[in-house]
Amino acid sequence: MTQRRPLIAGNWKMNCLRADGLELVSALVAKAAEKGSLGCDVLVCPPATLLSDVVNAAQNSAVQVGGQDCHAETSGAHTGDVAAAMLADIGASYVLVGHSERRADHDESSTVIRQKAIAAHDAGLIAVVCVGETEQERDLGATLPVVNGQVAVSVPDGASAKNTVIAYEPVWAIGTGRTASVAEVAEVHAAIRAELVERFEDGDEFRILYGGSVKPSNAAELLAVADVDGALVGGASLKVDDFWKIIETCA
Ligand code: PGA
């Protein structure tokens, strides 16, 4: 069976001023240094304003840094946007694309998300492509077609396990305290894995993260599910002790 190194990723969303962000990343870097070897890769995705500071604070540590979004174009007249190459230029190594908050707040389609993933790859970044069904879609029994459809369109043909991570985040579980059950997570992750294996030569090596109210109390059971190769953590990633406990689940 393929061994996939887990990835625990923190999505800070639109939180943290400079002092908070630096305190958070410095505490994480210190814990990682004290621990020595970790059982997973660790990523934090701060808001764009803090990327540079966080990259500096995390230099030569086990903590990697990613953006929360990038534009599909390499440069140009796109006020307020950030290009993937700009993220790479300041030392980020990952970028989230297609988070449900961007799909909802900014009307991003899976087609746009695929273009963003391609831009990320072209800039040498690892794209974390986020997918997930709404509560209404789940109630209609449409979870698997919705998620498989999002993966089919959002993940570009040039993707590989080296440049792409999938994050399954049921929209109804994000920031709500509600978590998908082990059976629900297992079913969706297996469906995503089957789709990746059918489409990509190294489909078995892609990491598939679960996200949606992951916290220390449920991390162990979620991370033990087959084809769950890590977590994308929102709220709990803002508290260093909670985030660290989730990281230690992989030790
Ligand atoms: P949450 O957010 O852990 O606060 O539910 C997860 C995410 O949106 O990535």
Q: 91-148: per-residue pLDDT in tens?
A: 999 999 999 999 999 999 999 999 999 999 999 999 999 999 999 999 999 999 999 9
Q: Kindly state if the Cβ of 128 falls inside 6 Å of ligand 1.
A: no
Of 119, 120, 150, 118, nearest to 132 by C-alpha is: 150
**How far apart (Å, rounded) are the C-alpha atoms in residues 167 and 181?**
16
Average of pLDDT values for 42-59? 98
| H or E element that contains 41 | strand 41-45
Residue 223 is predicted with a pLDDT of: 97
Q: Name the residue of 12, 174, 215, 243 whose CB sits within 8 Å of the most ligand 1 atoms, as the mutation to test its pocket.
A: 174
Q: Sign of torsion, CA 5 131 212 30?
A: positive
What is the rounded average pLDDT of the residues 149-154? 98
Which tokens hold the place of 89? Answer: 């230029």
Give distance in angstroms: CA of 203 to centre of ligand 1. 25
Report how far residue 81's alpha carbon sits from residue 119's, in angstroms, rounded to the nearest whole number. Answer: 13
Q: Which pLDDT band, with edges at 50, 70 and 90, does 73 fall under?
A: very high
Ligand 1 neighbour 188 (Cβ under 6 A): no
Counting from 1 in the atom list of ligand 1, the atom nearest the Cα of 101 is: 8
Q: 184-241, pLDDT tens digit by residue?
A: 999 999 999 999 999 999 999 999 999 999 999 999 999 999 999 999 999 999 999 9
pLDDT over 80 at 1, yes or no: no
pTM of the predicted model as reported, rounded to 2 decimal places:
0.97
Choose the catalytic residue: 101, 108, 133, 169.
Answer: 169
